[in-house]
């Protein structure tokens, strides 16, 4: 039996059949390639559809045995019982989890490999048919024995390898998770191995450590490169912990290749998670790179574990030696000791060194593990207006942990930024974006790459208003910044909206700091105001605004928007929506909802949702989608999607 046939039907109850007998059942012409579709259209699903339509056409086998649930079990074949109720189909909203994203990439690769195997096998059999003399010599019992031996060998190859087995793996593609997808070199099996720290074209040694047999793949640790890909250049690597620490994946890749890959992440996100036909999704724009590829992270949170045996039944055991302080290695739970991190800013790197020195003296006072906050904070000192003084005095930046702040003069010499590192979660950190100033609790969320915030907010500024309006349309005057946090978009975009910008968030503390930031930037409430509102009543607080004159900016957490929020948004129906996201997969899901103008079928609710009929909900068309690289050297990409309301 061919590996192709086994791959296609391994999860069905059909007895595996060779491709030759499949073709005979399909009753196709003798041309061996007539049943092979072009590689761009021929997939596992279409091949199975052809098989089902023909092979099971005239018998009841298909109805009785070929349909299964997702766990591979047979469905109930008899008549429903007297009291059996028909259950509703439950649709679970996609969360864009790494496992879900990875499985999409693996399935796409398997379909590609299946097509290639089908085409290769068809070519091989065509060559065999052109040599009938060879077939006669090798016919009969001898040929049957060879076929059986080949099938037995293939079966053994497709058995799962023992955990801990070391293999040579050929990397075929790069997943959106940042991991390489590989196949065992020299094997006819299409079993996929997920190997981190690799790029397409690498041949590596890897150690298998976990199987996911129901989905046809396994996880393997990267051990070493045997044959490097043309894309790999290890001289680019700037961290001695790379390929062990799980923080970075792409230090061996040229930055232009990283940006190409991150564009492909956005492309696949909308293909796999939006549930939109391709013509409704515009071409994804090139990913905007970060001005800094190293030294950009303004926040790190290394941690350490408690002493072995401590905190059991209330027993507190002090540490006997300084614990490893750092991050979790790929695939492991223990902490890896990290002395330095080159993707962090100079202030944060200095803070890490200072905290490690402190811990070397104070470790005995700890009886359990902890997380250390390292957050950069900036004090901007302008040059005197009269030009007097060649040096600017170093300000006092307590409670920073650095004895001497790091001075960073402006390119034009108009000011000097003094940077320190804060370790107190409740202290206030200060950050500048161009001339805007933002203060936040040091332990709270704020974007961690300051170098990209200027071009990023400028991109929003250039596209937050439509390039043109239909004749007779009202001009846009208002901005609503949902999930506003401490006011990043509300404040940086406020000058464009004569009607004012309004930030809405459910966290009172975020709203307090947002109002503080508005005052720091010289904005009164007529220009910029903030409202604390519960999610179920989010848009009730801005019901007085004319939706035709309003833009809404969304910047939700990784899980995306929930059904209630999307329903409110479409009922409010702003003329324009700018969706910013740190998870392009849930963004694609939510944008798909806005384009369809329907919530229920995506979030597991009734397909005709009664609450959706209370007020007409608008739908949207996508104007543009672009990725932003907030985290160079990693597999992460942020996305900005811009949508316009469809007036019907």
Asked if residues 586 and 273 have their Cβ atoms less than 8 Å apart, the reply is yes
Compute the distance between CA of residue 329 and CA of residue 341 in angstroms, rounded to an integer. Answer: 14
Compute the distance between CA of residue 291 and CA of residue 621 in angstroms, rounded to an integer. Answer: 31
Asked if residues 501 and 525 have their Cβ atoms less than 8 Å apart, the reply is no
Q: Which of the following is catalytic: 239, 248, 341, 582?
A: 582
Question: Which residues are within 8 A (CB) of 344 and not within 5 positions of it... i.e. 6 or more apart?
Answer: 295, 296, 297, 298, 300, 352, 374
β-sheet bridge partners, residue 344: 297
Q: Is 483 marked as a binding-site residue?
A: yes
Question: Which residues are within 8 A (CB) of 182 and not within 5 positions of it... i.e. 6 or more apart?
Answer: 169, 170, 171, 172, 192, 193, 194, 195, 198, 204, 206, 220
Nearest to 553 by CA among 478, 486, 617, 621: 478
Q: Is 505 marked as a binding-site residue?
A: yes
- Dihedral (Cα; 44, 49, 55, 60), 10-degree rounding: 120
Burial of 153 (0-12, 13-18, 19+ CB in 10 A): exposed
For residue 250, what are its two tokens?
A: 């792409």
Asked if residues 587 and 545 have their Cβ atoms less than 8 Å apart, the reply is no
Q: Is 447 marked as a binding-site residue?
A: yes
Asked if residues 268 and 580 have their Cβ atoms less than 8 Å apart, the reply is no
Q: Is 579 marked as a binding-site residue?
A: no
Q: Is 582 a catalytic residue?
A: yes
Question: Which residues are within 8 A (CB) of 327 and not within 5 positions of it... i.e. 6 or more apart?
Answer: 245, 246, 247, 302, 303, 335, 336, 338
Q: Tabulate helix, strand, coil % of the chain (nearest 5).
A: 30, 20, 45
DSSP label at residue 242:
B
Annotated binding site for S-adenosyl-L-methionine: 447, 483, 505, 555
Annotated binding site: 447, 483, 505, 555
Catalytic residues: 582
């Amino acid at each position: 039996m061919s590996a192709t046939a086994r791959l296609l039907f391994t999860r069905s109850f059909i007895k595996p059949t060779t491709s030759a007998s499949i073709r005979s059942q399909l009753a196709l012409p003798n041309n061996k390639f007539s049943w092979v579709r072009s590689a761009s259209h021929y997939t596992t699903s279409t091949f199975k559809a052809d098989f089902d339509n023909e092979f099971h056409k005239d018998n009841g086998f298909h109805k009785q045995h070929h349909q299964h649930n997702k766990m591979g079990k047979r469905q109930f074949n008899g008549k429903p019982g007297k009291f059996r109720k028909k259950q509703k189909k439950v649709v679970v909203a996609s969360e864009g989890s790494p496992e879900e994203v990875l499985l999409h990439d693996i399935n796409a690769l398997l379909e590609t490999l299946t097509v290639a195997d089908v085409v290769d096998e068809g070519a091989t059999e065509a060559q065999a048919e052109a040599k009938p003399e060879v077939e006669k010599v090798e016919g009969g019992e001898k040929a049957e024995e060879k076929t059986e031996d080949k099938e037995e060998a293939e079966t053994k190859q497709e058995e799962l390898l023992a955990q801990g087995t070391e293999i040579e793996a050929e990397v075929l593609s790069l997943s959106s998770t940042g991991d390489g997808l590989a196949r065992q070199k020299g094997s006819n099996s299409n079993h996929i191995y997920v190997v981190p720290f690799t790029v397409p074209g690498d041949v590596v040694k890897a150690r298998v450590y976990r199987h996911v047999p129901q989905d046809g793949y396994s996880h393997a640790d990267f051990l070493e490169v045997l044959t490097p890909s043309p894309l790999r250049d290890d001289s680019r690597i700037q961290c001695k912990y790379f390929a062990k620490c799980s923080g970075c994946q792409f230090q061996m890749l040229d930055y232009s290749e990283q940006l190409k890959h991150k564009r492909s992440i956005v492309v696949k996100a909308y293909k796999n998670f939006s549930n939109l036909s391709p013509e409704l999704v515009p071409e994804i724009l090139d990913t905007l790179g970060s001005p800094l590829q190293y030294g950009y992270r303004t926040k790190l949170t290394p941690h350490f574990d408690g002493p072995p045996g401590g905190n059991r039944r209330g027993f507190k055991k002090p540490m006997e030696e300084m614990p490893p302080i750092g991050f979790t290695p790929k695939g492991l739970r223990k902490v890896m000791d990290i002395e330095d991190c080159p993707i962090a800013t100079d202030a944060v790197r200095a803070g890490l060194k200072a905290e490690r020195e402190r811990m070397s003296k104070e470790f005995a006072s700890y009886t359990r593990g902890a997380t250390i906050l390292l957050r950069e904070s900036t004090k901007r000192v302008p040059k005197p207006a009269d030009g007097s003084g060649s040096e600017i005095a170093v300000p006092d930046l307590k409670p920073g942990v650095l004895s001497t702040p790091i001075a960073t003069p402006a390119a034009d010499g108009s000011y000097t930024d003094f940077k320190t590192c804060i370790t107190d979660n409740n202290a206030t950190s200060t950050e500048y974006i161009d001339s805007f100033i933002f203060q936040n609790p040091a332990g709270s969320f704020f974007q961690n790459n300051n170098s990209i915030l200027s071009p990023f907010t400028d991109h929003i500024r250039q596209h937050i208003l439509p390039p043109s309006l239909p004749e007779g349309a009202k001009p846009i005057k208002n901005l609503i910044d949902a999930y506003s946090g401490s006011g990043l978009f509300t404040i940086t975009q406020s000058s464009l909206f004569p009607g004012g910008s309004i930030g809405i968030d459910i966290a009172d503390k975020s709203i307090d700091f947002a109002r503080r930031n508005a005052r720091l930037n010289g904005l009164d409430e007529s220009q910029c105001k903030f409202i604390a509102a519960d999610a179920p009543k989010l848009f009730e607080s801005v019901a007085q605004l004319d939706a035709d004159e309003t833009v809404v900016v969304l910047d939700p957490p990784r899980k995306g928007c929930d059904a209630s929020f999307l329903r409110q948004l479409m009922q409010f129906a702003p003329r324009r929506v700018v969706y910013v996201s740190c998870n392009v997969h849930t963004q694609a899901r939510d944008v798909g909802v806005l384009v369809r103008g329907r919530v229920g079928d995506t979030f597991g609710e009734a397909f005709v949702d009664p609450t959706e009929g209370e007020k007409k909900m608008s739908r949207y068309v996508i104007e543009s989608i672009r990725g932003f690289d907030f985290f160079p050297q990693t597999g992460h990409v942020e996305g900005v999607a811009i949508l316009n309301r469809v007036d019907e």
